[in-house]
Structure 1
Amino acid sequence: MISVGDGRMTEQDVWNFLKEGEGKRRRLKALEAKKDKIEKDAYSIKAIDYEKPRVSGGMLSDVSDKLIQKEEEKSRIKAEIAEQEAGIYAWETKALRMSRYCDNDTQAALFVERFVNRKSQAEIQKEYHYAERQPYNIYNQAVAAIARNCKE
């Protein structure tokens, strides 16, 4: 999280905070993909053919050992996912609090739509009937207002 000596944030601090949220969401997506891969790997574990001669130096393990290993790995990933989701929730809560420091409701609404609700630039332009650059200008004004008014 951001901590500034006198309790005031600069515009760069606000942008860094927003980038931090994107990083948290990317990390969560990567963890979920890793969990899905582990589940897929667990379903594709092959049983050992005990009729074949054992390779010298090889270890004999059965399917249950491999499944237990995958389940343990999946449990660790699930714990990481829960931790990441909690971090995202805390980040979103702070972002919503920060939106109160915008100069007007339009800035606050677009700030929340873009950075908390994760709507794309095109979705916002279409929904609010804005020209291409207008939302960017409003975000910049919102960030400047937050930096000017926020004392968190």
Structure 2
Amino acid sequence: MTEKEVKIFFDKVRRCQRLYNSIVYERDHIEEDLAAAKAIDYSKPHVSGGSSSDLLDVVMRIHAEKDDCVRELEMRLWELQCFKADAIRVIRELNDPDKEAIMIDRYLRNLPWKAIFRAHHIERSEGFRRHKQAIRLIAEALTPRPKEEKKTEKSPPKQSGD
């Protein structure tokens, strides 16, 4: 596996996490819409030209949106769990707690670089250097080694009895 392929894999994990967070945010807003849904006030005069709907229609529409969102959320959660399990397995190849911690913070916890540098008490350049080393070490660990050719002694050719 090349360094570029390793980086692409980890970027997919981050994208999946961001998508999941986005859907959670959307679900929360749908719940707020549900709480803010208002019924028609029949005490006010009727205004022609508009479309009226009563509270049941509004609530049913919002529940349908929420159901769709929850189904998407469940699917994305399963996908995210698979990606994270693979990422953890790959990160464990490092056998270096400092580099593992940086990779976990960046790709599994989805932290921005600034927060990672602050949490690890390292300078920006040192953090990027460790990250690059981690990517390189993972790529090396996941690259299959060429098989050694077995040297076999040539046996003498079989002679026929003629």
Pairwise TM-score range, normalised by the shorter structure: 0.7 to 0.9
What do residues 26-72 of structure 1 show as CA deviations (whole Å, max 9, x unaligned)?
A: 2122212221222222222222233534636x655320121112112
Q: Distance in 2 between matches of 1:39 and 1:94?
A: 33
Does the Cα contact within 8 Å between 2:117 and 2:127 map onto a contact in 1? Answer: yes
Alignment of 1:96-115 (within 5 A): 96-102=88-94, 104-115=96-107
What does residue 59 of structure 2 align with?
Answer: 67
How does the TM-score come out when normalised to structure 2? 0.74
Pairwise CA RMSD of aligned residues?
A: 2.4
Shift of 1:103: 5.7
Match of 1:10 in 2: 2
Residue aligned with 1:130, SS: coil
| Cα contact 1:102–1:145 (8 A) shared by 2 | yes
1:30 aligns with 2:22: yes
Structure 1: runs of 5+ lacking an equivalent: 1-8
Question: Aligned equivalents of 1:109 and 1:91: distance in 2?
Answer: 17
Bigger radius of gyration among the two: 2
Aligned residues: 143
In structure 2, runs of 5+ residues without a counterpart are 145-162
Q: Is 1:87 aligned to 2:68, yes or no? A: no
Write the distance in 1 (CA, Å) between the matches of 2:77 and 2:24. 11
Moved more, 66-75 or 29-38: 29-38
Compute the TM-score of the two structures, normalised by the length of structure 1. Answer: 0.79
Contact 1:39/1:74, CA 8 A, preserved across alignment: yes
C-alpha distance in 1 between matches for 2:75 and 2:95:
34
